[in-house]
Amino acid sequence: MSLTDAQRAEIAAHAQETSSTRRPTVPALEAMLYEPQEVLDHGFLRVIDYMGDDSAIVQAARVSYGRGTRKVSEDAGLIRYLMRHRHSSPFEMCEMKFHVKLPIFVARQWIRHRMASVNEYSARYSILDSEFYIPAPDHMAAQSAVNRQGRGDVLAPDDAAAVMDILRDDAIRTYRNYETMLSTEEDGYGLARELARINLTVNTYTQWYWKIDLHNLMHFLALRLDPHAQYEIRVYAEAMLKILHAWVPQTAAAFEDYRRGAVTFSAGMLKIVRRMLAGEQVEQAGSGLSKREWDEMMAVLKG
């Protein structure tokens, strides 16, 4: 991770200030606050602020006057109920703000989640650092033969090394030219920042502040933890998932059960499962499902 000493010092200073508050507070999360988790070769993700906890969800769902006197187990039961029946508004009552450093091509996927707030580092206003993502050899994969938007086998070591060289060389060259175009020295051109940056490759790192409520965060996670999500965004989702468990453990447990590990059966699939449970031998041919759907379902049923 490419944090300068000055940045580390700034983070450390920030982390030392403590205050007394009457707001819901989560000690396990306080311990992680501001601390960057490394992601990819130069990226990171850190929590800047949060609002709410498991109890805040319960309190909002009950529109209550205080924290109430119910047992923890009752609260957990209500959270499971809300998750199972896809109630969204109580989960919207919690909020998290992250500082993320990520490659531009990951940022482009990420921003598709519109129900969030973003402040991105501006390359019109400032100069980007010379940092770009190069996949590690064990993630340098061939195009999948079966999935048009997926990866297949990892490249042979020599090929992986050759590809890494290409990516690194091009990133360095385009960045040097970016610097040359910006430079107001004799051999530079003094080009406007907003133009010079168009020469950078999409694996260049950018960074942003990103704020999202818990409902939408879980929606993001459900999509981006999926094995079909691109690896380079999935690793950010995995870093967030750890934070989720520290922040709202009951909600995170319900999320694992009812979202992440859950599977939706269509009306057609459900009929087949019922026939199977009744002891019938069902084949794809007479199932009413396409070959693809049949295979997807059987993979799920076999676990």
Decide whether 196 or 240 has the Cβ nearer to a copy of itself.
Answer: 196
Could you tell me how many residues of this chain bind a copy of itself (CB under 8 A)? 133
Closest CA to 171 of 141, 135, 125: 135
Burial class (CB in 10 A: 0-12, 13-18, 19+), 66: exposed
- Rounded distance, CA 84 to CA 22, Å? 31
Q: Which residue carries 């850190």 as its tokens?
A: 46
Residue 266 lies near a copy of itself (rule: CB under 8 A):
yes
State which of positions 8-37 bind a copy of itself (CB under 8 A). 10-11, 13-25, 27, 30, 33-34
State which of positions 223-242 bind a copy of itself (CB under 8 A). 230
Is 124 marked within a binding site? yes
How near is the Cβ of 25 to a copy of itself at its closest, in Å?
Answer: 4
Is 110 marked within a binding site? yes
Q: Which whole-number Å values give the CA distances from 96 to 3, 10, 114, in the listed order?
A: 22, 21, 15
State which of positions 175-214 bind a copy of itself (CB under 8 A). 177, 180-182, 184, 189-195, 197-203, 207-209, 211, 213
Is 111 marked within a binding site? yes
Pick the binder of a copy of itself from 70, 97, 234, 245 (CB under 8 A).
Answer: 97
CB-side exposure of 74: number of CA atoms within 13 Å?
A: 9
Residue 110 lies near a copy of itself (rule: CB under 8 A):
no
- Rounded distance, CA 35 to CA 22, Å? 23
Residue 71 lies near a copy of itself (rule: CB under 8 A):
no
Is 120 marked within a binding site? yes
Stated as kind and residue range, the H or E segment containing 218 is helix 214-224
Point out the residues that are catalytic: 224
Binding-site members for dUMP are 109-112, 120-124, 197, 224
